[in-house]
Structure 1
Amino acid sequence: MSKKRGLSLEDKREQLLQIFYESQDFYLLRELEKLGPRKGVISQAVKDVLQSLVDDDLVFKDKIGTSVYFWSLPSRAGHQLRQVRAKLEADLSATKSHRLELEKMKESSKKGRENSDEREAAIAELNEMEQEHKALKDELEQYADNDPALCENMKNATEIAHQAVNRWTDNVFSLQNWCSNNFPEAKERLQSVYKEVGINDDFDYLD
């Protein structure tokens, strides 16, 4: 024997609304939790179902003193549903209008693009020009090393490097003289250190 299936959320909402419609009275939450099981809505679920109805403006609540009362009238609920329906119909109408506009734009964009010998020839010519442009671009890149601006930059960089090398060479000679003058007893050791760091007898300024 199959287990009895419980009410869905929508069914619970409908049953809870019937409590209000049948009595057209005001209720406290604890009163609804007692009446809910008579309609198939367990007391533990009444609060959540009731809140969902309040969120959708199908049930209204107001605080009087320290108590919160809930109520719902068929006329008010009907008005809310009519408003929802009107909004949905307006949205549907706007969507249909937008779709028609898109279809018109689509048809309009097709004008002048019909298949023809002239169009096919124009497309072929465009493809040929694009290929020629790519070939010229590739050829231009091969001569990039001979670019006058690039050559000028390399020339300037070389000059700066040349000056820097001679400046450091001058620093090395100054250091050698200082060490020789201040530590003459260590001259042979200094010569050995020079060779270790690559300073040989032919070490000199660059022309």
Structure 2
Amino acid sequence: MSKRKGVSLDEKRLRIIQIFHEKKEFFTLKEIEKIASKEKNIVIQSVQDVLQALVDDGLVQSGKVGTSTYFWKFPGESIAATERKIAEMSKKIVEAEFKLQKLKEEVQKEKEFKKDNEEKRNLLEEVDRLRKEEQEIKKQIAKFSVINPEAIKEIEEKARKNKDLANIWTDNIFAVQSWCKNKFSISEQDLNKQFNIPEDLDYIE
């Protein structure tokens, strides 16, 4: 003789829900235990735990009337509960998408800021190079001032051009500083400190 197979937990849950759908009434725990044991072949000792799990999951309603606790579930309630869950999940999805969009904007803003900073560093390096070259030219002028007037004139012309170039690069740095301050709301002092821009940076006279 084959051994009788027990009823699974999921099957017990389904059968108890069927009781509410078929009867369309309110029941006490004792009444549910009696019907479940007699009509649904569920071991009476397990009914209370299965019923409480259904209540916890929002699949069965419960409430106290006086000293007694009643349980009930009508077919339309599961649809309403599902719709509420869908609405809640939709709200969470919208909030998550909004946060994701904000993060993308912040990442893009950070990328632009880094790009602008790289350009500023290049400008500073070019200005520094031109200033060093100007100093070397001035040393040559001092050295050869008594030897070759034509050579001095050529060197002075070159020095003038380098000074103009240095002032152009300085002007470019000021323009980038102004753009960064307006776009990223950062003070000039913070910009200078972060990128080692001299506080006394100015045009060469």
Q: TM-score range by the shorter chain?
A: 0.3 to 0.5
Task: State the structure with bigger RCO (CA 8 A, min sep 6), 1 or 2.
Answer: 2
TM-score, scaled to structure 2: 0.48
TM-score, scaled to structure 1: 0.48
Structure of larger gyration radius: 1
